[in-house]
Structure 1
Amino acid sequence: MMKKIGMLTALLSVINISAQQTCSNTDPGNNPGDVGCVTFSYRGQTVAYTTVRGADNKVWLQQNLGSSQVSVSMTDADSYGDLFQWGRWDDGHQLRNSSTSAVPSSNTPDGLAGINSFITGSSPDSWWSSNGSGDQWTAENAGVVTSVNGADPCKAIGQGWRMPSQSDWNVLVGSEGINNPVSAYGSHLKLPAGGYRSGSTGSFTFVGQRGYYWSSDVATTGGKYLYVGTTTANPSSGAPRGQGASVRCIKDLAALGTTDIKLNEPGIYPNPTNGILYFKTNEAIEAIQVNNIAGQEVKTGFSGNRIDMQELPNGVYIVTIVLKNGQIVSKKIIKN
């Protein structure tokens, strides 16, 4: 039996290496659940990660940064990946076995030169504890960080990749129906319950039980994150920046703008929308229907060429318009 297990492990390793060597850096298709792959440098080595199109119609990594594979269960330790402190990057601190150190004298991103440990300290003296509302996690790399802007680790993946915002997580949670660790793993993103690392002691909590995923937004307590607890998923949670949490990256793709719509062809724009949609057509409209991601019809206001979705929750919707000439136009719309 042990011999068979060893042979299987070796075979899987060969398959994994082969997959990395043949990654074509192709984005997923247009359907939720379609996968692709991307190669980039992480921890000084070239890695290949699986990408996926979520039910929000966005392209995401299907793996946490630092993981060795897409999760096969919510408690798959190989998929947990690394735990970053808010505003920090791939400097080694995020490793689960990294050492801890005291708060640096310059307790901001530009004061981290030569520090690759996980910073711990009693509140409010832990990492970057000023919690300035104008602080950011968007710098292109460690060479351009400032006292108010840390390097976004997702930007190392390539053009368009970045940390997700609170709004991105909010739309994703709604469109995927995430409300606990089981449904988080069952989503197209395969989110595992990697737990978190304490910014006070460096110890680990709720590993295999709950998920903690940073966003790029600030909070009065430090930074915003997606909390996936036993019975809830909250994209609006806030935690001290010294806490170590998982990072999952999102990619910006060019969206159809108003200038992309040909005057002689029907179109629905803008997408994504904050709630007001416009419909461009030279034909009279017979009927309009809006359905949520579960297929249920929802009520919206409609006047002229304007569809009002402002009262609907953020998420993914299918807008279908039937024209007098019999033509049917249907489009997936993201409201955020």
Structure 2
Amino acid sequence: SPGGLTGSGTAGSITVTGLTNGTAYTFTVTATNPIGTSVPSSASNSITPLVIPVVTNPTTGKIWMDRNLGATQVATSSTDEAAYGDLYQWGRGSDGHQIRTSGTTSTLSITDVPGHANFILSSDDWRSPQNSDLWKGETGTNNPCPSGFRIPTEAELTAEINTWSERSGVGAFGSPLKLPLAGVRINYDGLLSYVDSFGYYWSSDTPMSGNARTLYFRAWYTNGILWNNFNRARGQSVRCIKD
């Protein structure tokens, strides 16, 4: 379902085109040779093709996901909860820790993949020893972005900021990216803070041990766009850029 597709080939995959984004499909297969045609196979499990929704900044030419990772929609305001999305610890993959209500643990991870869905409490990094090579590019270890996307660099985020109407939460939402004030998850206690008043967004840059470069902005303060080196164990927003 839908019918009408035919394909042929030896053992391997057959590419299906023309599917509608978000529509569920099932597939049945028949085999044909000079002797005849086989009985159709049982219907496959339902498959729903998804296209990553994107937005392009006409000034920089860069293509981005149109929402934060984990968000269910594009922001309709700076304080649109459905657009806040998840809060990632720098360098971790999408293992469940990024969910705002995930459990916590004080046990640091000795590997790049902790093997659980808990938010790791720490004064600086969730991993010991630290690994500053995570999240570097589309093929980087633990890249949480969809295929073809990656964590942006500080330079790429700065280029976007330079096109905004003002350097504040107002400018962030008014930009093509529509960045909301999603807040932060505190690294030492796992509590949410500054929701509706600050936005914190990770870059892939790690100039200091235990820290990573973060773009953050305030709701009420003009020229309030700032950069800082924040602890990698903090939970912050991620906006992916097309590689």
TM-score (norm 2): 0.73
Q: CA deviation at 1:127?
A: 1.1
Summarize deviations over 1:163-190 as a string: whole Å, max 9, x none.
1001101111002345111111111111
Alignment match, 2:225: 233
Alignment match, 1:249: 240
Q: Establish whether residue 21 from structure 1 lines up as the match of residue 23 from structure 2.
A: yes
Distance 2:239 2:109 in 1: 30
Q: Establish whether residue 71 from structure 1 lines up as the match of residue 75 from structure 2.
A: yes
Checking the alignment, whether the CA contact within 8 Å between 1:131 and 1:222 is kept in structure 2 is: no
Q: CA deviation at 1:46?
A: 6.7
Q: Tell me how many residue pairs correspond in the alignment.
A: 196
Between 213-222 and 89-98, the greater mean CA deviation after superposition: 213-222
Q: Establish whether residue 224 from structure 1 lines up as the match of residue 225 from structure 2.
A: no
Summarize deviations over 1:278-311 as a string: whole Å, max 9, x none.
xxxxxxxxxxxxxxxxxxxxxxxxxxxxxxxxxx
Alignment match, 1:327: none
Equivalent in 107, 112, 121 of residue 103 of structure 1: 107
Q: CA deviation at 1:237?
A: 1.7
Q: CA deviation at 1:140?
A: 5.9
Distance 1:178 1:163 in 2: 24
Q: Establish whether residue 52 from structure 1 lines up as the match of residue 52 from structure 2.
A: no
Equivalent in 152, 159, 163 of residue 151 of structure 2: 163
Summarize deviations over 1:292-334 as a string: whole Å, max 9, x none.
xxxxxxxxxxxxxxxxxxxxxxxxxxxxxxxxxxxxxxxxxxx
Distance change (3 Å), C-alpha of 1:226 and 1:47: farther
Aligned ranges 1:25-36 → 2 under 5 Å: none
Alignment match, 1:14: none
Letter in 2 for 1:53: T
Distance 2:67 2:211 in 1: 25
Between the two structures, name the one with larger relative contact order (CA 8 Å, sep ≥ 6). 2
Q: CA deviation at 1:49?
A: 4.4
Aligned partner of residue 227 in structure 1, secondary structure: strand
Summarize deviations over 1:125-145 as a string: whole Å, max 9, x none.
x5136666x53323767xxxx
Distance 1:119 1:100 in 2: 6
Distance 2:157 2:199 in 1: 13
Checking the alignment, whether the CA contact within 8 Å between 1:139 and 1:151 is kept in structure 2 is: no
Letter in 2 for 1:128: R
Checking the alignment, whether the CA contact within 8 Å between 1:70 and 1:190 is kept in structure 2 is: yes
Q: CA deviation at 1:247?
A: 0.5
Distance 2:229 2:237 in 1: 14
Alignment match, 1:127: 126
Equivalent in 165, 180, 188 of residue 192 of structure 1: 180
Distance 2:167 2:158 in 1: 12
Letter in 2 for 1:138: K
Q: CA deviation at 1:21?
A: 3.2
Q: Establish whether residue 62 from structure 1 lines up as the match of residue 66 from structure 2.
A: yes
Checking the alignment, whether the CA contact within 8 Å between 1:74 and 1:185 is kept in structure 2 is: yes
More strand by share: 1
Distance 1:188 1:215 in 2: 18
Distance change (3 Å), C-alpha of 1:233 and 1:63: same
Q: CA deviation at 1:95?
A: 0.4
More helix by share: 1
Return 5+ residue gaps in structure 2 as ranges: 1-19, 25-47
Q: CA deviation at 1:20?
A: 3.1
Aligned ranges 1:134-173 → 2 under 5 Å: 134-138=132-136, 150-154=141-145, 157-159=146-148, 161-173=149-161
